[in-house]
């Protein structure tokens, strides 16, 4: 199995696969501010490995969900349990799905119940301006739970008034419709979108329906800048064997709502930001879809908090300080402390019987300095949690510009993650949480280089992360009938090499047939101090090899094509439900393509995912869909720039 990896990589290279990025946005990347940190920096000045996916790129790639877009990036591992973003676990650099911080316009939206819900984001990809991805830990600038990286989704902020309609139909009864309105006036932009999508499912009990409603406004006035956003998501789906193969006919419904207000004021020397946010997530799960009385779980989480950031620029550099408070609350039918009086579950014949809550307070200091071609940024975050007490985590980044197009980077950063409510409290016949869990901690060392000259762009990074008290679900390997138990693994060392190489012929020739070409490869290896007599559920199933290839090219006049090839070799394996035999994950390759025609007011496109109809597994016994076609169109009714 493993010997085939080099053959598949070589075959993919022969397909002339390459970058998913369009030329004009690649040039603009050097002028973009990275907003996911507490102290925004220019992309060109960043001392970390970062990726930015622009709106133009999202429009061209063969993908219709955030999950599918992210899977093309070298250091990102997206393990999907269903198609079209029904549910996916997201990890970076060999970490677990609980270790990535997800933000929407800089607002943290991670779910404290479980990381399985972190990508329940109430937006359609048509509303995304860009996605910022930072790889590697940096608690000092992102706060808790940015253990292995952070992903920030920035929504539409174009200074124009328009209405955009998008819809497609596809295999397995797939259908989608969305409408978005953007209204721009002097100093004020407003964006409102609604989308709905459904499918009959690619196999038994994989049908789904989801709806999104999202609003975002940006007001730039003499009193400061105000940003308001609010959203709501409904998602209902058949969860065929999602959590256990003993009951394949599972079913789940999630509802998620959030709102935030951000105020910004400043001058050339000082800047002040204050943010207020709220998020509610409701989860309804049936172990038997046709028998709610057999076993059902109801969970309701609320997060409310505020954050204050202040920065000052002087001759000595830029200094910043931040203060954040958040309250995380849980009502549940199955985990937590007993309620004095049960609470009715709205619209359900059920009650919340238990509850749990925790308070989190953090304070951070950061300073960045530049001297000629040398740049450095460092600081620390002090964190208090009523469950786990006080802790502090420092870090520092460096970069040195050898010349105008070559930069050397280095960093040493620490990070931490508090256990989720499920890891601490959950209990059923197949899973047992652990109230004695400790927070995860890590220190990471990284060196690398970046190159950007002419039509070429490249970056190479080598890192080593030492994790302590890493959390995973384990069971005795000689008795797989036992339930999974959440435990701290004392140490987990992860090392890796991340490399990317891109060509952009249109930088020098706008009429070039090939618009972009890219190769990206990640190699990881791990050492875990876990008892060999125990089976691990998540940690050891990391992507050892991942190669992505892509090609964007013109066909004729307004006709374009985009091709993506993804090759993945995952460590670990799973016990087959059919014969109770343990099998290793097989290496596999996926080929996706998109053909499109475009003018000023419309785009007509044809997507094909898994062109070669590859049979593969992202997680356990859950088969992923085969070849899947989509035919759609996007129409702009009018577009008046302000």
Read out DSSP for 284-332?
EEESSTT-TTT-EEEEEEEEEEEEEEEEEEETTEEEEEEEEEEEEEEEE
> What's the whole-number average pLDDT of the chain?
87
- Whether the pLDDT of residue 18 is over 60: the answer is no
Residues in a beta bridge with 350: none
Q: Which residue has the tokens 């302000």?
A: 642
Q: What is the pLDDT of residue 14?
A: 35
pLDDT of residue 17: 34
Q: Where are the beta strands (DSSP E) in 61-173?
A: 76-80, 88-92, 100-104, 107-108, 128-135, 149-155, 160-170
Write a three-state SS string for 143-208: CCCCCCEEEEEEECCCCEEEEEEEEEEEHHHEEEEEEEEEEEECCEEEEEEEEEEEECCCCCCCCE
Alpha carbons 144 and 382: distance in angstroms, whole number: 10
pLDDT tens-digit profile of 577-624? 777 788 889 999 999 999 999 998 999 999 999 999 999 988 888 889
The pLDDT value recorded for residue 1 is: 45
Q: Work out the percent of the chain whose per-residue pLDDT is above 90.
A: 63
- Label the pairing between strands 317-332 and 296-314: antiparallel
Report which secondary-structure segment, H or E, holds 14: helix 4-14
Gap between the Cα atoms of 302 and 279, Å rounded: 6
Question: DSSP 3-state assignment of 570?
Answer: strand
- C-alpha span between 414 and 466 (Å, rounded): 9
Domain boundaries, the chain: 4-641
Token readout for 279 is: 């998020």
Alpha-carbon distance of 101 to 159, in angstroms, equals 29
Q: Please determine, for residue 6, whether its predicted confidence score (pLDDT) is greater than 50.
A: no
CA distance linking residue 131 with residue 566, whole number of Å: 20
Determine how many CB atoms are found less than 10 A away from the CB of residue 598. 16
The pLDDT, as a whole number, for residue 38 is 57
Query: Is the predicted pLDDT of residue 490 greater than 80, yes or no?
Result: no
Across the strands, what pairs with 442?
Answer: 415, 467
What does the block give as tokens for 267? 């001058």
Answer for the pair 333, 353: CB distance below 8 angstroms, yes or no: yes
Q: Please state the φ and ψ torsions of residue 577, each to the nearest 5 degrees.
A: -70, -35
**What's the whole-model pTM score?**
0.90
Q: Which carries the bigger pLDDT value, residue 44 or residue 111?
A: 111
Of the options 2.40.170.20, 1.20.120.920, 2.20.28.120, 2.60.120.380, the CATH number for the domain spanning 4-641: 2.40.170.20
pLDDT given for residue 531 in this prediction: 67
């Amino acid at each position: 199995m493993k010997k085939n990896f080099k053959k598949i990589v070589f075959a993919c290279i022969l397909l002339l696969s390459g970058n998913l990025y369009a030329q004009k946005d690649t040039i603009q990347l050097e002028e973009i501010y990275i907003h996911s940190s507490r102290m925004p920096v220019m992309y060109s000045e960043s001392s970390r490995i970062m990726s930015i996916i622009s709106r133009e790129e999202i429009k061209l790639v063969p993908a219709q969900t955030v999950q599918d877009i992210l899977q093309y990036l070298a250091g990102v591992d997206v393990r999907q349990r269903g198609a079209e973003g029904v549910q996916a676990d997201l990890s970076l650099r060999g970490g677990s799905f609980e270790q990535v911080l997800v933000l929407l316009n800089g607002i943290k939206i991670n779910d404290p119940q479980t990381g399985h819900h972190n990508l329940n984001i109430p937006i359609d990809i048509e509303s995304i301006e860009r996605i910022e991805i930072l790889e590697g830990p940096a608690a000092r600038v992102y706060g808790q739970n940015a253990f292995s990286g952070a992903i920030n989704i920035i929504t539409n902020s174009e200074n124009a008034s328009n209405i955009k309609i998008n819809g497609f139909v596809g295999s397995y009864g797939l259908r989608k419709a969305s409408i978005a309105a953007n209204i721009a006036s002097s100093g004020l932009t407003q964006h409102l979108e609604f989308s709905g999508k459904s499918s009959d499912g690619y196999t038994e009990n994989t049908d789904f329906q989801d709806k999104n409603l999202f609003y975002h406004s940006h007001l730039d006035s003499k009193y400061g800048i105000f940003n308001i956003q609010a959203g709501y998501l409904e998602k209902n789906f058949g969860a065929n064997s999602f959590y256990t193969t003993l009951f394949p006919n599972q079913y789940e419904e999630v509802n998620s709502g959030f709102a935030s207000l951000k105020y910004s004021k400043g001058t050339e020397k000082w800047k002040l930001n204050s943010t207020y946010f709220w998020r509610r997530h409701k989860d309804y799960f049936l172990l038997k879809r046709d028998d709610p009385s057999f076993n059902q779980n109801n969970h309701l989480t609320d997060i409310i908090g505020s954050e204050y950031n202040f920065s000052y620029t002087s001759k000595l550099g830029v200094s910043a300080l931040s203060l954040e408070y958040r309250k995380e609350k849980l009502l549940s039918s199955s985990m937590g402390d007993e309620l004095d009086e049960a609470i009715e579950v709205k619209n359900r014949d059920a009650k919340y019987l238990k509850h749990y809550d925790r308070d989190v307070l953090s304070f951070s200091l950061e300073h960045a300095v530049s001297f000629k071609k040398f740049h450095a940024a460092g600081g620390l975050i002090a964190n208090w949690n009523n469950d786990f007490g006080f802790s502090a985590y420092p870090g520092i980044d460096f970069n040195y510009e050898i010349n105008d197009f070559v930069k050397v980077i280095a960093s040493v950063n620490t990070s931490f993650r508090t256990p989720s409510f499920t890891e601490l409290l959950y209990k059923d016949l197949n899973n047992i949480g652990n109230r004695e869990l400790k927070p995860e901690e890590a220190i990471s060392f990284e060196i690398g280089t970046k190159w950007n000259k002419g039509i070429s762009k490249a970056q190479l990074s080598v890192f080593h992360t030492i994790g302590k008290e890493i959390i995973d679900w384990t069971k005795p390997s000689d008795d797989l009938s036992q339930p999974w138990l959440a435990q701290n693994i004392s140490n987990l060392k992860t090392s890796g090499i991340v490399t990317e190489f891109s060509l952009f012929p249109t930088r020098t020739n706008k009429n070039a047939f090939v618009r972009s070409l890219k190769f990206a490869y990640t190699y990881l290896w791990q050492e875990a101090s876990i008892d060999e007599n125990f089976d691990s559920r998540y940690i050891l199933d990391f992507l050892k090899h991942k190669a992505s290839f892509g090609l964007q090219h013109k066909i004729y006049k307004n006709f374009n094509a985009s091709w993506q090839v993804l090759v993945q070799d995952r460590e670990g394996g799973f016990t087959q439900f059919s014969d109770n035999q343990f099998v290793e994950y097989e290496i596999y390759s996926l080929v996706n393509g998109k053909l499109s025609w475009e003018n000023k007011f419309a785009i007509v496109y044809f997507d094909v995912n898994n062109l070669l109809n590859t049979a593969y597994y992202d997680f356990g016994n859950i088969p992923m869909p085969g070849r899947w076609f989509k035919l759609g169109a996007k129409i702009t009714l009018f577009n008046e720039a302000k």
